[in-house]
C-alpha cells in the first residue's frame, strides 16, 4: 500500500506550507503558499539570503534610499514566489501586507502591484493567488480583485461567517486555520477531549466544506495550520490542504490506510440569501475565538513583516 501522503494526493490537492525549496523537491506538492512569517524564516537561512540581496538592490535602484525594506519586501515575496513556481506545477500564494487588512482600496492597490512585479519577471500570473486576511475589508478587496481576474486566497479564516462571506464574494480560495482554532479551545477549555473528530478546527472545516458543496459555491476550501496528522487525516478529501514539511514527512512515513472523510454533494441547492456587512460584523463579535484569532494572526503577520523589512534594511 502507498503511504498516506500519496493516498492523500489521490483525493486532495496537497499544498506545501513553506518557502523552503528543498522541502518542496522532496514532497512534490501541487501548490505552494507563503506568508510574512515564512519569508522571515527564509531570510534567516544563509542559502536564501542572495534573494534578499537581489530584492534590496532592486529597491535601491527603484527608490534610492527611501523605504528600502518595505519596497524590497514586495520584490522578495515575488522572487521567492517565482522560485516556488519552478518547483510546483500549480499555484503559489503571495500575501498582501497584513497592515493593510482594514483598508480595501490599499489592499487592492498592493495586490495589483504584486501582480505587476510578477509580470515584470515574465511569470504567468494565472498561477498566482493573492493572499488577503479575512476581514470584511479584505473580503471586499478580494471581491474586486476577482472581478479583475486576479484570484485570491483569503486567509486567517476562523469562523463560518468569514467563510460564507468569501464564498458569496466569489473568492477563489479560502484558508481556514485548523490548528489555531484548536489552540484557542485547548487554552480556554483544557478539560475537553479535542482529539480526532472532536477537534474544533476539524469540525469548522467540515462545516464550511459541507455548506459550500451543498449550496454549489465554487470557492476552494484549503485547510491550513495543522498541529498533527490526525487533523489532516480527518479532513482527507477536502479540496486542498496546506501542510508543513514536518507533517508531510510524517504522512510520507505512515503506511496505514487513509479513508476519505469529506465528499461533495451530488445535487447542490442554490442559495440566494446573502450575508450583510452588519450580520458579518455581529457574527464575528459574538464569536470570541474567531475575533481573538483573527486579530492575533494579523498582528503576528504585521510583526513579522516589520522584522523582515528590518533585515532587508540591514542588508542595504
Could you report the per-residue pLDDT of 103-144, keeping only the tens digit for each?
999 999 999 999 999 999 999 999 999 999 999 999 999 999
Long-range contacts of 220-223 (CB under 8 A, 24+ apart): 220/172, 220/173, 220/174, 221/163, 221/173, 221/174, 221/176, 222/15, 222/153, 222/173, 222/174, 222/175, 222/176, 223/175, 223/176, 223/178
pLDDT of residue 18: 85
Q: Is residue 67 scored above 90 in pLDDT?
A: no
Q: How far apart are CA 204 and CA 210, in angstroms?
A: 10
> Of residues 62 and 151, which shows the higher confidence score?
151
Task: Express as a percent the part of the chain with pLDDT over 70.
Answer: 100
pLDDT recorded at residue 225: 95
Tell me how far apart the alpha carbons of residues 61 and 163 are, in angstroms, rounded to a whole number: 41
pLDDT at 64 over 90: no
Q: Please write the tens of the pLDDT for every residue from 250-284.
A: 999 999 999 999 999 888 887 778 999 999 999 99
| pLDDT tens sequence across 168-221 | 999 999 999 999 999 999 999 999 999 999 999 999 999 999 999 999 999 999
Q: What is the pLDDT, as a whole number, of residue 177?
A: 97
Looking at the predicted structure, is the pLDDT value of residue 49 above 80? Answer: yes
Residue closest to 295 by CA, chosen among 308, 280, 310, 284: 284
Domain 4-315 sits in CATH 3.20.20.70:
yes
Above 90 in pLDDT, residue 157?
yes
Q: How far apart are CA 157 and CA 141, in angstroms?
A: 15
pLDDT of residue 30 exceeding 80, the answer is yes
| Active-site residue (options: 110, 131, 206, 293) | 131
Query: Would you state the pLDDT for residue 33?
Result: 87
- Tracing cell 492597490 back to the chain, one arrives at 109
pLDDT (0 to 100) of residue 66:
78
The domain spans of the chain are 4-315
Please give the pLDDT value at position 269. Answer: 85
Give the pLDDT band of residue 316 (cuts 50, 70, 90). confident
Task: Note the pLDDT of residue 58.
Answer: 95
For residue 65, pLDDT over 80 is answered with no
Is residue 234 predicted with pLDDT exceeding 90?
yes
Distances (CA, A) of 275 to 92, 137, 166: 29, 14, 10
Please tell me the predicted confidence (pLDDT) of residue 63: 74
Higher pLDDT, 210 or 33: 210
Residue 131 known to be catalytic:
yes
Q: Which conformational region is residue 64 in: left (phi greater than 0), alpha (psi within -120 to 50 degrees), or beta?
A: left
Q: Mean pLDDT over all residues of the chain? A: 95
Amino acid at each position: 500500500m502507498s503511504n498516506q501522503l500519496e493516498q492523500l494526493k489521490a483525493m486532495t490537492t496537497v499544498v506545501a506550507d513553506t518557502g523552503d525549496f528543498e522541502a518542496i523537491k522532496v514532497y512534490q506538492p501541487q501548490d505552494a503558499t507563503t506568508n510574512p512569517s515564512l519569508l522571515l524564516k527564509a531570510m534567516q537561512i544563509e542559502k536564501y539570503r542572495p534573494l534578499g540581496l537581489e530584492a534590496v538592490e532592486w529597491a535601491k535602484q527603484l527608490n534610492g534610499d527611501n523605504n528600502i525594506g518595505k519596497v524590497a519586501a514586495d520584490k522578495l515575496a515575488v522572487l521567492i514566489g517565482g522560485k516556488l513556481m519552478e518547483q510546483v506545477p500549480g499555484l503559489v500564494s503571495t500575501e498582501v501586507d497584513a497592515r493593510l487588512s482594514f483598508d480595501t482600496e490599499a489592499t487592492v492597490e498592493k495586490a495589483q502591484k504584486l501582480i505587476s512585479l510578477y509580470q515584470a519577471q515574465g511569470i504567468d500570473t494565472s498561477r498566482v493567488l493573492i493572499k488577503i486576511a479575512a476581514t470584511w475589508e479584505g473580503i471586499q478587496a478580494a471581491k474586486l480583485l476577482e472581478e479583475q481576474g486576479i484570484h485570491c486566497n483569503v486567509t486567517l479564516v476562523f469562523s463560518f461567517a468569514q467563510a460564507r462571506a468569501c464564498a458569496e464574494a466569489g473568492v477563489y480560495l479560502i484558508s481556514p486555520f485548523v490548528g489555531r482554532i484548536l489552540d484557542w479551545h485547548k487554552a480556554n477549555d483544557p478539560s475537553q477531549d479535542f482529539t480526532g473528530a472532536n477537534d474544533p478546527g476539524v469540525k469548522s472545516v467540515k462545516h464550511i466544506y459541507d455548506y459550500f458543496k451543498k449550496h454549489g459555491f465554487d470557492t476552494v476550501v484549503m485547510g491550513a495550520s495543522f498541529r498533527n496528522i490526525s487533523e489532516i487525516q480527518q479532513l482527507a478529501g477536502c479540496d486542498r490542504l496546506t501542510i508543513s514539511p514536518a507533517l508531510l514527512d510524517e504522512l510520507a512515513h505512515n503506511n496505514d490506510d487513509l479513508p476519505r472523510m469529506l465528499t461533495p454533494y451530488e445535487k447542490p441547492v442554490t442559495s440566494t440569501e446573502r450575508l450583510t456587512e452588519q450580520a458579518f460584523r455581529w457574527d464575528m463579535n459574538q464569536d470570541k475565538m474567531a475575533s481573538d484569532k483573527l486579530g492575533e494572526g494579523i498582528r503576528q503577520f504585521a510583526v513579522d513583516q516589520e522584522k523582515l523589512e528590518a533585515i532587508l534594511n540591514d542588508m542595504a
